[in-house]
Amino acid sequence: MSGYPPLAERMRPLNLDQYIGQKHLVGEGAVLRNMLEKKLLSSIILWGPPGVGKTTLARIISTHLERPFYVLSAINSGVKDVREAIEKARKARFFNSASPILFIDEIHRFSKSQQDSLLGAVEEGVVTLIGATTENPSFEVISPLLSRCQVYVLKPLEKEDLIELINKVLTNDIVLKKKTVKIEENDALLHYSGGDARKMLNILELVSNSELESDTIIINDEMVTKHLQQNPAQYDKNGEMHYDIISALIKSIRGSDPDGAVYWLARMVEGGEDPKFIARRLIISASEDIGLANPNALLLATSSFEAIKMVGWPESRIILSQVAIYLATSAKSNSAYKAINDAQALVTRTGNLPVPLHLRNAPTKLMKDLNYGKNYKYSHDYPDNFVIQDFLPDEIKAFRLYTPQNNATEQKVNERLNYLWKDRNKK
């Protein structure tokens, strides 16, 4: 097959009718199709995972609108390159003509200064910006630039989209249409591609090349798996998926679903995540979501952090699994989390209230003469090691910040507090 471009490039769509997937954006009556049919385009950012057609869609838009198309890659371009591209666009624009399109691939890799250099040209309409990113633009694109762009989300291709693409390749590709290609099974093809059209085409080309001398190519799951021999997990430890999956793990624990917890844990293990990162998040969950309902959860999570440092991969996965399942099946309480949030909010509202005199430290005679520590009651001198006194400034002493929740452990706590404090104001 030498002499031909890669299959993914040979099959790159040239117009919307050839474009597969993203029906919510380019299907009949969808927002981008309507915009193009009206010959209108504002600056946009295309956000989605790799291989879903961001670059292809940008090129189709430019072709459809018949506008000059300038391309920059954030990996290789600096501020100087941005300014040169803008200057070329400025010179290419005739009076009252539509602005050229400046396409920036992986715009999330641009620094703040590089993104700043785009602002004036976008605001003045010198260029219409199309940015492509695999990362959440809310975090990776500066606010002034983001406010001047409409964000469109591209999704991983559905199974039906990928099957349509396979059929299209076998019918239309200049190389494969000359052969008899039989797809006996497509589960492995679809599984390993993970909704990434480019990856699927690369896999199809790889397995087809392995049968180069044969006029008939039979593709099945065993053949695909044999030729790939790779981990199919899609996981970017530095990308948004990293945070999405840890979020899914923590929410599964919070929702008391051990199956969900151990599944998302497995996704991170298979993706090569740092076990210490996972353990740290489990420690936070043990305190935030289980808290006082089961104080042992924090002890177990903390000890797991030390354990994985001693054990390492792959056995650490067992330790993390134990903790994740324990946390998921434990009683839940966020009373400590809510209490500190409410306390911080109260501090913000009321400012630096003075410490009541009876609670102040009095290490010197002068401080004692100023009544520091006066009338403080030492709890251990009283029955039950308790005596009623105020521990908050007078202005806020009626506030209650900790509210025990409805679980066995905290109900006992609640009973003890009610016994000790009796009729204290419960505002």
Residue range 154-213, pLDDT digits in tens: 988 888 999 999 989 888 888 888 878 888 888 888 888 878 888 888 888 888 887 766
**Burial class (CB within 10 angstroms; exposed 0-12, middle 13-18, buried 19+) of 248:** middle
User: pLDDT at residue 265 above 50?
Assistant: yes
So what's the pLDDT on residue 303?
92
Q: Smallest Cα–Cα separation from 280: which of 321, 233, 320?
A: 320
So what's the pLDDT on residue 132?
93
The C-alpha atoms of residue 71 and residue 85 are separated, in whole angstroms, by: 8
Q: What are phi and psi of 160, to 5 degrees?
A: -65, -35
**Dihedral angle, C-alpha 84, 85, 87, 91, nearest 10 °:** 140
| 74-83, 317-326, 398-407: range with highest mean pLDDT | 317-326
What are the domain boundaries of the chain? 22-153, 159-228, 240-329, 350-421
Q: Would you say 241 and 264 are in contact if contact means Cβ atoms under 8 Å apart?
A: no
* The architecture CATH gives domain 159-228: Orthogonal Bundle (1.10)
The C-alpha atoms of residue 49 and residue 241 are separated, in whole angstroms, by: 9
Angle of the 275-285 helix axis to the 240-254 helix axis, nearest 10? 40
Residue range 35-71, pLDDT digits in tens: 988 888 889 999 988 888 999 999 999 999 988 898 8
Residue range 75-87, pLDDT digits in tens: 777 788 888 888 8
So what's the pLDDT on residue 180?
83
When pLDDT is averaged across residues 263-271 and rounded to a whole number, the result is 87
When pLDDT is averaged across residues 99-104 and rounded to a whole number, the result is 90
When pLDDT is averaged across residues 272-298 and rounded to a whole number, the result is 90
So what's the pLDDT on residue 61?
93
When pLDDT is averaged across residues 244-251 and rounded to a whole number, the result is 88
- The residues, any chain, with a CB within 8 Å of residue 366's CB and separated by 6 or more, are none
User: pLDDT at residue 423 above 70?
Assistant: no
Classified as helix, coil or strand, 133 is strand
When pLDDT is averaged across residues 287-310 and rounded to a whole number, the result is 90
Q: Would you say 51 and 82 are in contact if contact means Cβ atoms under 8 Å apart?
A: no
Q: What is the pTM of this model?
A: 0.62
> Is the torsion defined by CA of 115, 119, 122, 125 positive or negative?
negative
So what's the pLDDT on residue 241?
63
So what's the pLDDT on residue 156?
87
> Is the torsion defined by CA of 202, 203, 207, 210 positive or negative?
positive
**Of all residues in the chain, what percent carry a pLDDT higher than 90?**
21
The C-alpha atoms of residue 255 and residue 312 are separated, in whole angstroms, by: 29
Q: Would you say 115 and 145 are in contact if contact means Cβ atoms under 8 Å apart?
A: yes
**Chain-centre distance for alpha carbon 81:** 30
So what's the pLDDT on residue 22?
92
240-329 — its CATH code?
A: 1.20.272.10
Q: How far apart are the first and last CA of the chain?
A: 78
| Fold of the domain spanning 22-153 | Rossmann fold (3.40.50)
So what's the pLDDT on residue 131?
93
Strand partners, 130: 44, 103
The C-alpha atoms of residue 30 and residue 207 are separated, in whole angstroms, by: 36
350-421 — its CATH code?
A: 1.10.3710
